[in-house]
Amino acid sequence: MHHIRKQLFTVAVFTKLSTRRFFRDTLALFFGILFPLIFLFVFGALSGNDNVTFTVALLNNSKTAYAHNFAHQLGHEKTFKIDKDAGDLSQAKEKISRGQLDGIIVLPPDFGAVQAGQSHPSGTAQVLYNKSSSGTGETLTSVLQGSFRAANAKYVTTQLPFSVQGKELNQKNLTKFDYTFAGLLGFSIIGMGIFGPVNVFPELKKQGILRRLRTTPIKTWQYFLATMFSQALTGLVAIAAQFAVALTVFHLKVAGNYFEIIAFTILSIFMILGLGLAIGGWAKNERQAAPLSNIIVFPMLFLSGTFFPRFGMPTWLQHVTNYLPLTPVIDGLRLLTTEGKHLTDLGPQLAIIGVWFVVIYAVAFRVFRWE
Amino acid sequence: MAEPILKVTDLKKVYDDKPAVDGISFEVEKGEIFGILGPNGAGKTTTLEMIETLREIDGGSVTIDGIDVASSPVKIKQIIGVQPQTPAFQDKQKLGEIIEMFAAAYGERVNVKEFLDDVQLGEKTNAFAEQLSGGQRQRLSIATALVHSPKVFFLDEPTTGLDPQARRNLWELIKMVRDRGVTVIMTTHYLDEAELLCDRVAIMDSGKIIALDTPQNLIKQLLKRGFKKEVKVEQANLDDVFIDLTGKALRD
């Protein structure tokens, strides 16, 4: 017990000193905090506050007043551009096959009717989309779910025996900026987590600083843990700065819970940092570290939704890139931040991060060299 | 005679089939300053690094204070202090923090100022490591190696590249460490340094120890073999002139 406490004391002091060093280092501050902010300004200005719009056909087969209202309202929403020419299913299907439509929304005959024994209208809208653009279809579905959620809250919440008071969810739809923002958060996690250790470790080895530490009883896990904690602290500061800019300049509306966002961010920082520890810990010098880190980082930057939303990619590519380490990080951050999801909804993302975490650290421990 | 603090028996290291250290044996008594001399490539540093747990031992054995180095490296690390050939520290770190960090590596909390005072750096507690001169860096490194009160202190060519004042100052420091009961083992290729500091020296060449005795005995044996210097020894040398003119005090 005493022994463990001593070892954790070592971790605590190393964490403190390494964090302090970061905030004294102008170069680290620039690349860790200012650089992602510059990206945020550039990409934020590019994507502005424009809504992502979906061109859809709306086939209303229901005669209920509710369905009529819903169709009318959908026509006024910025997210949807309704194609009036597609009057029936076959026309709509043909247009979708020609790529003129993103999807078809079908309201079945009983949509909006009050079912027996219930006091409120209900119904299930269908979203039809092409297999080749399943990403767009899924996004469309989730956007539609967002607007139903608001409606559901109005009808149902107060009647449920165990529910808390119904909280109105964000009525704002997903904007391009929402996608961009989550991607940029991912970018800054990558920047600090991978390029940090990859640049620093070979230098520490060259100067014999790690070698000198090795003559002390400090263990690799203690050194890793201190690096992880310190990275989480500095990373959270960087992420907080981006939130501050996004909230004030780009009118980001955070629908989720900040504690969940912080918890998820820390987990993501730990996992991604593992890649940096593995590369930097393995490399004997910069000449080994630089190419390897580029091979690992660049595909992720382009394929994990950092700068380009993934829903525009072909389906097969989406399936493959789903499993890159950075993808669940960016998806998870977006779901928590702008879509109002909770950690309990992020099963797939947490599972992928968890598996990568174990794999990456197993490798990092194995390949770490003190000199 | 008491049990030796360091016992090296038939120690071997092989690099690419070539023996870098070729079956050397020696013992060091508690409280000694023991020197390992030899030309570059003689195997001094490799020997030291095997004893310090940094290199795998290919043959033979080393015990420090009765503990076997190969089988208990963690225990060994607790009782040794190491001064590398070229001490380096991370930038943006204050001297006080560096002492704090090394103490923490042993799970200890120490009075930082006291350790810096010992090496005349007390006034620089809040200075950054990158602002130090070569001699100051050596002194800081000595302080970091003593934070956990080691029993044996290893120095690898500590005075290489230092000016005469800094060298003399470092010698005083090494004697101070010895006077506190710490056994000192150092490599050097300055013979004046070895003659002045070391109680006994081992001379290495091509991975073997070719002589081991007190500096005085080694010189006596040489003279017995009929050795004569060609030039008569001066009462002073250029080193003495330099120190006389520029003073013995430490300059930073």
Return the pLDDT at A161: 46
Q: Does B252 have pLDDT greater than 60? A: no
Say whether residue B193 is in contact with chain A using an 8 A CB cutoff.
no
Q: How far apart are CA A23 and CA A3, in angstroms?
A: 31
Confidence of residue A253 (pLDDT cuts 50, 70, 90): confident
- CB-neighbour burial class of residue B211 (10 A; exposed 0-12, middle 13-18, buried 19+): middle
Of A246, A226, A241, A189, whose CA–CA distance to A44 is shortest?
A: A246
Of the pLDDT bands very low, low, confident and very high (cuts 50, 70, 90), residue A88 is: confident
Q: Residue A296 and residue A198: Cα distance in Å, rounded?
A: 12
pLDDT, position B250 = 65
> And the tokens for A128?
């039809």
Percent of residues, chain B, with pLDDT higher than 70: 95
Tens of pLDDT along A179-201? Answer: 788 888 999 999 889 988 898 89
- Average pLDDT on B95-104 reads 95
| Percent of chain A residues topping a pLDDT of 90 | 33
Q: Assign A52 to helix, strand or coil.
A: coil
**Which residues neighbour A3 within 8 Å (Cβ) at sequence distance 6 or greater?**
none
- In this prediction, the answer to ipTM > 0.90 reads no
Does pLDDT of A163 surpass 50? Answer: no
- Name the β-bridge partners of B37: B188, B203
Q: Does B67 touch chain A (CB under 8 A)?
A: no
Q: How far apart are CA B51 and CA B31, in angstroms?
A: 18
Rounded to whole angstroms, how far apart are CA atoms A351 and A122? 34
Q: B37 in helix, strand or coil? A: strand
Measure CB to CB from residue B84 to each of A17, A208, A216 and give the nearest one: A208
Percent of chain B with pLDDT over 90: 62
* Percent of chain A residues topping a pLDDT of 70: 91
pLDDT in tens, B162-198: 888 888 889 999 999 999 999 999 998 888 888 899 9
The string of pLDDT tens digits covering residues A42-70 is 888 876 555 567 788 888 888 888 888 88
Give A-chain residues touching B99 at CB under 8 angstroms.
Answer: none
* Average confidence (pLDDT) over A6-11: 93
**Cβ separation B92–A24 shorter than 8 A:** yes
A208 in B contact zone (CB under 8 Å): yes
Residue A151 predicted with pLDDT over 80: no
CB pair distance less than 8 Å for A14 and B53: no
Average pLDDT, chain B: 89
Residue B165 identity: Q
What value does the mean pLDDT take over residues A134-153?
74
The predicted-structure confidence for A107-136, as pLDDT tens digits, reads as follows 888 888 887 777 777 888 888 877 766 667
Model confidence over B81-93: pLDDT tens digits? 999 888 899 999 9
**Inter-chain Cβ pairs, chain A and chain B, closer than 8 A:** 64
Q: Taking CA atoms, what residue in B is nearest to A203?
A: B90
Model confidence, pTM? 0.75
Least confident stretch, A132-146, A230-244, B21-35: A132-146
**pLDDT of B49 over the 50 cut:** yes
* Mean pLDDT across chain A: 84
**Pairwise pLDDT comparison (A267 vs A43), residue with the higher score:** A267
- A10/B104 CB distance under 8 A: yes
A227: pLDDT strictly greater than 80:
yes
> Residue length, chain A?
371
